Structure 1
């Protein structure tokens, strides 16, 4: 006899649990969601069943209704009872989670769409990065790999990360791009969880996953989905604690930590940002370009906490690294130029409530941006509009906001759209 109501219904309909999940996955695929595990329905069939997440429940009921030829409701399968206390999920604290269990959870469903995630601050926010300084975690001995790595698979993941960066750099984090990016991240989580072992291909896979976590985290940040961005960043840090990681992996991790710090600074979590950037800067043997990226992030963070002396110190440090290039520039650091440092410096002076200091840097940045990167240009124009408004030059601020308005329609960035609306309201009130 089946252990619960759903099991009895499946038996009556002549369906196996795997068939139910296969039909659910067909519906998920039409929405662009990653598939559930073929065994995902088994927890729903226990004597004390786990209840599916709302999206999975709706899909399951639709599939059962279609199969039965009559309406199947939540009460028909015992899903209308009060939900038990939410169980602990690894994604709530990725830095403390068993790695394989965390990656498996990420690959299973729509956990990144949860609306009850909250931002972590203080020790909870910085602990995963601090753990990187304490050395690798000894994981339980892995069994034989169930995913055999090969050049084509790893190369495809590496190319997908770069394609995602190029797409995001051009127009921002459109919902379709973000859906694709999160889907790649979830699918790659499954590959990483199943592909145990060491060697050059395994190291490249880990590096690509950390780079992917940085990129998807940035896209979520740009879409103002801040708790989700933080969980993605923390998952990348958790993987980075694996034994035998190479310098390439550590350098990619430093970039991820620096991006986490940028998010913290943007949100006003100044102590978290400073702690994260100190950790990133301690990464051994950083290439000059990577060290410059971290220094550029420190410029902005110093401005956000009104530390004007440190703004100048880190600006000089960033420029010094840029003036001393080496042959080890990572692909993800190639975006940084003197104009980028100018932009960070201008934003820092603006945050320090010294807009007149910011003007020359931000004018230079607006002139340096190109039509090929409209989000970058929009960001620069908004910075300058904010600066001129604070300097009392309202007509120029309105003109710049007019330029920004023409860009808003082609740039998908909730972060910048929100800022545009706030600035437009401030100028209208003058």
Structure 2
């Protein structure tokens, strides 16, 4: 049973909670009731504790308004911000990039455009509802639509230039790996965020810029993930979700958002955040209802890997069949960012999933076929990862000679592949071999 906090004369809020018979958790529960009525996602039950420290953090404006209303109703008299020391300059203001899902998108984009490159920031890995809240918020109508009343009308050529830059970034990442283009990607991400804060009007060009930023968040987030900068990748993915929630909902924006959620779910699976990955995939599937079958195939392909990582072989089979079925239904409407997906790619994901599920005999034929279809000239990183997955499979099957031979083949590609993810995988497979006496 929760107990009221002890009185603390150096913290007015702690003292007030004690006299009102409220625990910090109960205060947040009452605040969440107010947030639920207006469709906002709930705060973490421990959110009030930073407000009770000897040098307390101050709530955001929305949380402050809710807290004052709850406290006033509980005590029977008006509680003001002045009484709680919540006036004057804020101490150590929380950066929007620390919690993109909670920040107004206009403030978030302004911070992105003016701040230091995200890949150099010292950020903590997110987990639990902090990861999934921005995705679930996409399923709720936005309370604060993006402010498009100030700024300039964007020229169509601006949108075209951003779109072309994002596509060129994908090509460079595919051919050379993530590290080479990371600085360019970061600059493009910041510049596009800055553009969005300076344009106005709900028109086709503005929507194209918004869509391009969401696609850029997916691409840049994937590159950060490949570069083993997981906290930064999470923030970039969430920035795209935040814009998607407040931008005009078009079929193209929903498709780009579904693809972004699928990539975020892949990262969560890689990090063994299985519950978070499932929530992200569920949101992607709901958003993609009515979208091109190829997008639904991409989401199903990510679900294959997620199922294998958590050891759910039945879900793995269902997702594999669904991915192939959706791909068979693809017509001429093929989003550019989905051109990588093929039946061979789905089989490759299936092999990786069976390997993750510790079923190497089942994985082996899939991964052998995958290796036959990946070119070292066009996609050296994918080739290296394919070799290592097959090497790991043969190791688990007991064929150490073949496994070691494959690992040596992968090592020959390291000079051509700028990918910490691939290099980490090489060390992981190499270190898993039995040591010679």
Q: CA–CA distance in 1 between the matches of 2:340 and 2:191?
A: 27
Residue 98 of structure 1: aligned partner? 104
In structure 2, the partner of 1:338 is 343
1:120 equivalent to 2:130? Answer: no
Q: Are residue 227 (structure 1) and residue 231 (structure 2) matched? A: yes
CA RMSD of aligned residues (A): 1.5
Q: Which residue of 1 aligns with 2:308?
A: 303
Rounded Cα–Cα distance in structure 2 between residues aligned with 1:321 and 1:163? 27
What corresponds to 1:238 in structure 2? 242
Partner of 1:384 in structure 2? Answer: 390
Q: CA deviation at 1:243?
A: 4.5
The 3 A distance-change label for structure 1 pair 392 and 138 is same
- Do residues 212 (structure 1) and 242 (structure 2) align? no
Q: What pairs with 1:76-91 in structure 2 (closer than 5 Å)? A: 86-91=92-97
For 1:216 and 1:142, locate their aligned partners in 2 and report how far apart those are by CA, in whole Å: 25
The normalised TM-score by structure 2 is: 0.77
User: What is the CA-CA distance between 1:86 and the residue it aligns to?
Assistant: 3.7
| 2:368 is aligned with 1:373 | no
* CA distance in 1: counterparts of 2:143 and 2:212, whole angstroms: 20
Partner of 1:316: 321
TM-score (norm 1): 0.78
- Alignment partner, residue 4 of structure 1: none
Contact 1:129 1:257 (8 Å CA) reproduced? yes
Give the whole-Å Cα distance in 1 for the aligned partners of 2:161 and 2:328.
34
Partner of residue 417, structure 1: 423
Q: Secondary structure at the match of 2:272?
A: coil
Aligned residue pairs total 345
1:262 CA drift (Å): 0.2
2:160 is the alignment partner of 1:155: yes
Matches of 1:330 and 1:122, distance apart in 2: 31
Out of 387, 406, 417, the residue aligned to residue 400 of structure 1 is 406
SS in 1 for 2:413: helix
Q: How far apart, CA to CA, are the structure 2 residues paired with 1:332 and 1:429?
A: 43
3-state DSSP class of the match of 1:194? coil
Residue 141 to residue 227, structure 1, CA distance change in 2 (3 Å): closer
Contact 2:105 2:146 in 1 (8 A): no
Q: Displacement, 1:114? A: 4.6
Equivalent position of 2:184 in the other structure? 180
Residue in 1 that maps onto 2:295 = 290
For 2:167 and 2:94, locate their aligned partners in 1 and report how far apart those are by CA, in whole Å: 34
Determine the structure 2 residue equivalent to 1:192: 196
Partner of 1:350: 355
CA contact (8 A) 1:137 1:243 kept: no
Does 2:436 align with 1:427?
no
* Partner SS, residue 241 of structure 1: helix
What is the SS of the residue equivalent to 1:95? Answer: coil
**Distance (Å, rounded) in 1 between the aligned partners of 2:140 and 2:379:** 39
